[in-house]
Structure 1
Amino acid sequence: MPSQGLALSNRLRYLAARARRIDVGSVIERARETSRDHGKWTPAVLADMLWSAGFRQVGFQDYVDYDFAILNRAERDTYMTHPVSNELSQKFDHPDYRLLFQDKVEFDRVFSDFLRRDWMVVERGNAEAVKTFTLAHGTIVTKEPVGQAGTGVHRYHAADIQDWNDFHAGLLQRGELLIEEVIRQHADLAAVCPGTVNTTRVTAFFDGEKTHILAIAQKFGRGAVSDQMTFGGFYTMLDDGGRAVGPGYDSHGHVHRQHPDSGAVIAEFQLPMIDEVKTFVDQVARVVPQVQYVGWDIVVTPDGPVLVEGNWGAGVYENKPSVTGIRTGHKPRYRAAIGF
């Protein structure tokens, strides 16, 4: 497809915003961490990190997460980074439609046919409806309409609730306005971590005619309500056939060859129903075509994939060379699909 160059103005605004928020101490600590991990001289790593951030659009955490200290320039150029991903989001996700993805209540309304589970909104005067819903499902998940990285997500068991009016009032007070039925995940996912619904992040681009799958990451939790890293979760990249390419890892330096709780070998994981997942992503990508670049969070259930959420600021999931042995990333796929 023809080139769709990214605007220099967006890049400069992003860099200016990052410069204003830079935490020098945090950057130095990242450089020290990288030096320890790879046997590099800290001042040289720090200088390389700053140069990469300023001239190669590499976020500081990208540099650490994707082991840039041990990659040559050609290898680095194959990696998608957060600054570049941000540019894609700004260019291809229309501002007038982003709220449909940011507000979880609006998202559930727009994508209701693809959730394939019950949900309701907490409002004044509907304590009895909340009670009926919760008792019917036994366990529920509540969400604050606006949140990220798993914040604002909570889990409650009907058996633990004594005063339903008080419970309802608490939900309103805390802003937990969306209630959802708990997803029943496929047995292959539950075998790795049964206590958390383990989501598959599919980053995709819809060009108006075709949906291009750019990268697939499988996230695993540690028994908490969310599989995000803030809850102790981690991820591994999957190939086009849905097979893990190596062990799991996170942004805190933890590597998981086996799941810490179940003992499942991460590199042996195979996502079930991968063809159905790809078809499903194509379907959801067409619902709001004005938001073209999305990170879709999906869960495979015994009956097929269901939608958890879509992230218009897609973020980045990539290979970690020191863990997987793979020294290339997914950027060529992004370029081929989007043409930047």
Structure 2
Amino acid sequence: MGQLAVRLRYLAGRARNLSPANLAEFTEQVKRVSKAPTPVIIADMLWCSVRYDMGFRDYAVWDIRLLKGRERATWMTHPKSFRITKMLNSAEARPLVEDKTRFYRDFADDIRREWLDLRTAGDHDVRAFLARHDTIIAKPSNGFGGGGIDRISAADITDVPAWRTDQVAKDQTLIEEVLPQHPDLAAVYPGSVNTVRLVTFLGKDGTFHVIAGVLRIGNGGVIDNFAGGGMFTMLDENGIALYPGVDKQSNVYETHPVTGVRIEGLKVPMYREAVAMTERLSRRLPQIPYMGWDIAITPDGPAVIEANHNSSVFQMKPTVSGVRTGLLARYRDATGLKL
């Protein structure tokens, strides 16, 4: 399937699932930085979706309303990311990373945590696991986007067989120990494991590209991504935060609201080791060259949380960074696609 066919199919799917509530939310975000009336904003969103292959959330989060046409054309978008996945990643290989139990088995040396599949473990094994860990993380074995993840106190589980049956019924079948995170990252926000997202590409010639480095930080929830109320900032090649944090609603955080730690200038410990890990693991999965890796930094080194077959796109808002161009050129250079 060619790029045009993939693009048209994607646009048709988005049009069918267009939510008036989401459209209103994005319009309100745009109004924070633009005085344009609602009809003008909506018309411009629709124009950009066709002209620049841009999602409505992309338009709102990246302050596209404020940019000139030649600047808008430099931004990577989620529809274009989807095209990379469809064009270059093997659909048949998708379960290698999205089936978490399989991924955990295949990459056991790099996840650095104990885990259990409630579908196959016996009650004795579950009791022993809970006895070893005061707090656990429970998640779907095929979940994505941080959905369906809970942090559970082992002391609250009094009837193991009944609890296990309930977990399986609601498809929250994977339990794992809570990873300790490096003290430098725990100081930023201790309520979740704050992870590094590395968007990478492995070329056919064996060249490994880090397209984007991102620090994701929790904010009141047990997970650090957008869906859980978290924020992100972009990292430079040395793992240093370039800007303040931004969340899903485009709120900007110079300092973390819980800990007061300043975000711009934060240095991710063992960042080079995390990059080296993702390169090594990418070479084990050449049939999925385009990947979004979520990496935790423990006191003993980086640990893989998960690998994403279709990575989200991260770029910083121009009103925060002062930079009015996006990262599309980096994606083009890495993939060789005319996006």
TM-score (norm 2): 0.94
Say yes or no: does 1:12 pair with 2:8: yes
Provide the residue aligned with 1:137 in structure 2: 133
Instruction: Give SS of 1:39's match.
Output: coil
Change (3 A) 1:330 1:6: farther
Please give the residue correspondences for 1:134-283 in structure 2 after superposition, counting only pairs within 5 Å.
Answer: 134-208=130-204, 209-283=206-280
Provide the residue aligned with 2:89 in structure 1: 93
Instruction: Give SS of 1:62's match.
Output: helix
Instruction: Give SS of 2:264's match.
Output: helix
Cα drift, residue 24 of structure 1? 4.6
Provide the residue aligned with 2:39 in structure 1: 43
Tell me how far apart the structure 2 counterparts of residues 258 and 192 of structure 1 sit (CA, whole Å): 9
Say yes or no: does 1:335 pair with 2:328: no
Once structures 1 and 2 are overlaid, which stretch shifts more, 53-62 or 224-233? 224-233
Say yes or no: does 1:103 pair with 2:104: no
Instruction: Give SS of 1:97's match.
Output: coil
Instruction: Give SS of 2:239's match.
Output: coil
Write out the 4+ residue segments of structure 1 that deviate beyond 4 Å after TM superposition.
none
Which residues of structure 1 form unaligned runs of 5+?
none
- For the 8 Å contact 2:181–2:297, the answer to whether it is kept is yes
Number of matched residues? 336
Please give the residue correspondences for 1:73-84 in structure 2 after superposition, counting only pairs within 5 Å.
Answer: 73-84=69-80
- For the 8 Å contact 2:29–2:249, the answer to whether it is kept is no
Tell me how far apart the structure 2 counterparts of residues 158 and 251 of structure 1 sit (CA, whole Å): 31
- For the 8 Å contact 1:6–1:87, the answer to whether it is kept is no
Tell me how far apart the structure 1 counterparts of residues 175 and 28 of structure 2 sit (CA, whole Å): 43
Which residues of structure 2 form unaligned runs of 5+?
none
Instruction: Give SS of 1:54's match.
Output: helix
| Coordinate RMSD, CA, aligned | 1.8
Provide the residue aligned with 1:326 in structure 2: 323
Amino acid at match of 2:61: D
Provide the residue aligned with 1:128 in structure 2: 124
Cα drift, residue 78 of structure 1? 2.1
Match of 1:291 among 273, 288, 292: 288
Cα drift, residue 148 of structure 1? 1.9
Change (3 A) 1:195 1:23: closer
TM-score (norm 1): 0.93
Deviations 1:279-307 (A, max 9, x none): 01101112221111111000111111100
RCO higher in 1 or 2 (8 Å CA, sep ≥ 6)?
1
Instruction: Give SS of 1:96's match.
Output: coil
Tell me how far apart the structure 1 counterparts of residues 200 and 336 of structure 2 sit (CA, whole Å): 14
Deviations 1:21-45 (A, max 9, x none): 2235643552344134222233332
Cα drift, residue 187 of structure 1? 0.8
Cα drift, residue 251 of structure 1? 2.1
Tell me how far apart the structure 2 counterparts of residues 49 and 328 of structure 1 sit (CA, whole Å): 18
Cα drift, residue 124 of structure 1? 5.6
Cα drift, residue 46 of structure 1? 2.0
Deviations 1:57-79 (A, max 9, x none): 01111000000111122222221
Tell me how far apart the structure 1 counterparts of residues 25 and 243 of structure 2 sit (CA, whole Å): 27
Residue identity (%): 39
Amino acid at match of 1:109: R
Once structures 1 and 2 are overlaid, which stretch shifts more, 80-89 or 285-294? 285-294
Cα drift, residue 192 of structure 1? 0.4
Once structures 1 and 2 are overlaid, which stretch shifts more, 188-197 or 118-127? 118-127
Tell me how far apart the structure 1 counterparts of residues 59 and 181 of structure 2 sit (CA, whole Å): 34
Tell me how far apart the structure 2 counterparts of residues 6 and 270 of structure 1 sit (CA, whole Å): 41
Please give the residue correspondences for 1:57-72 in structure 2 after superposition, counting only pairs within 5 Å.
Answer: 57-72=53-68
Tell me how far apart the structure 2 counterparts of residues 277 and 144 of structure 1 sit (CA, whole Å): 25
Deviations 1:218-268 (A, max 9, x none): 111124321122221111111111111111112213111111101111112
Once structures 1 and 2 are overlaid, which stretch shifts more, 183-192 or 151-160? 151-160
Instruction: Give SS of 2:273's match.
Output: helix
